[in-house]
Amino acid sequence: MTYQFCTVDRQGPLTVVTINRPEVMNALHPPANQELAEVFDAFAADPDQWVAIITGAGDRAFSAGNDLRFQAENQGRLTIPPAGFGGLTSRFDLAKPVIAAVNGVAMGGGFEIALASDIIIADEKAIFALPEPRVGLAALAGGLHRLPRIIGETRAMGMILTGRRVGAEEGERLGFVNAVAPAGTALEVAKTWAAQILECGPMSIRASKDAVKRGLAEPSVEAAVKAQNGYPAVAALYRSEDFVEGPKAFAEKRAPQWKGR
């Protein structure tokens, strides 16, 4: 399909989604959010797509978040699809991994999209912030809940209550950035991470992500271990052809032929 506000490039089992509104620093308005929701619906449903990368067009911004000018021109109305801002922040059932290649500014909802991803690769010049209180809003697309879980309440409050900007290296020290890429290479570095994921069994990757995400919501490690066989992606792993193929390939000293089913 041809999209108006993003591009989608399928490279084998890898889907690269690029937010394409560089004229407004890749800020998102309702039509762009709806389009991205449709893109990630298609990614989730496609058995041949195993890993996604989301990035921004140009070299200035990953996403500056909500398009405030558009919102102001529409009397403050803000319509978000059920899957959330950028089609990701309220998508809690996606077991396939998503990597954010943050190539510049990731502010407000842009930062929330990155936090809703599983891995964040940041350009060395990337800037992160949740500045919503400075414009009378709040980061209610998951940022207020995800950031404290990732870096701890005290550190998160230091960012949230001031709206201060954090660079890539500090983000790595705080713990929400996985790796800092040389300027202009965030997407390429993200692809190397994706390649490592793609070496693994896709059903195993989904089961692992599902177990981590759902397990963190359990009251204890014991409860998570006892519940995990009932998690959808874990149950699907046990039923899959890949569950047989992996050990068989190891025993036969050959590369596994993953099917993702």
Residue ranges covered by each domain of the chain: 6-198, 202-251
C-alpha angle 2/191/34, rounded to 5°?
A: 35
Look at the block and give the residue holding tokens 């005290």.
154
Q: Which among 156, 94, 114 has a CA at the least distance from the CA of 19?
A: 114
- The 10s digit of each residue's pLDDT in 126-156 is 999 999 999 889 999 999 999 999 999 999 9
DSSP 3-state assignment of 92?
Answer: coil
Q: Looking at the predicted structure, is the pLDDT value of residue 76 above 90?
A: no
Q: How far apart are CA 59 and CA 48, in angstroms?
A: 30
**What's the pLDDT at 58?**
95
The fourth-level CATH superfamily of domain 6-198 is 2-enoyl-CoA Hydratase; Chain A, domain 1 (3.90.226.10)
Q: Looking at the predicted structure, is the pLDDT value of residue 34 above 70?
A: yes
- The 10s digit of each residue's pLDDT in 81-100 is 999 999 999 999 999 999 99
Contacts of 231 (CB under 8 A, 6+ apart): 207, 210, 211, 214
Contact (CB, 8 A) for 81 and 33: yes
DSSP 3-state assignment of 206?
Answer: helix
Q: How far apart are CA 169 and CA 84, in angstroms?
A: 28
Q: Looking at the predicted structure, is the pLDDT value of residue 69 above 70?
A: yes
Q: How far apart are CA 27 and CA 104, in angstroms?
A: 12
- The 10s digit of each residue's pLDDT in 204-254 is 999 999 999 999 999 999 999 999 999 999 999 999 999 999 999 999 999
Tokens of 173: 């020290």
Interstrand relation of 14-19 and 6-11 (parallel, antiparallel or unpaired)? antiparallel
Q: How far apart are CA 122 and CA 70, in angstroms?
A: 27
With 0.85 as the threshold, say if the pTM is over it. Answer: yes
Contact (CB, 8 A) for 141 and 109: yes
**What's the pLDDT at 75?**
67
**What's the pLDDT at 79?**
83
Tokens of 46: 């496609």
- Cα of first residue to Cα of last residue in the chain, in angstroms, is 25
Which residues are catalytic, by number? 112, 132
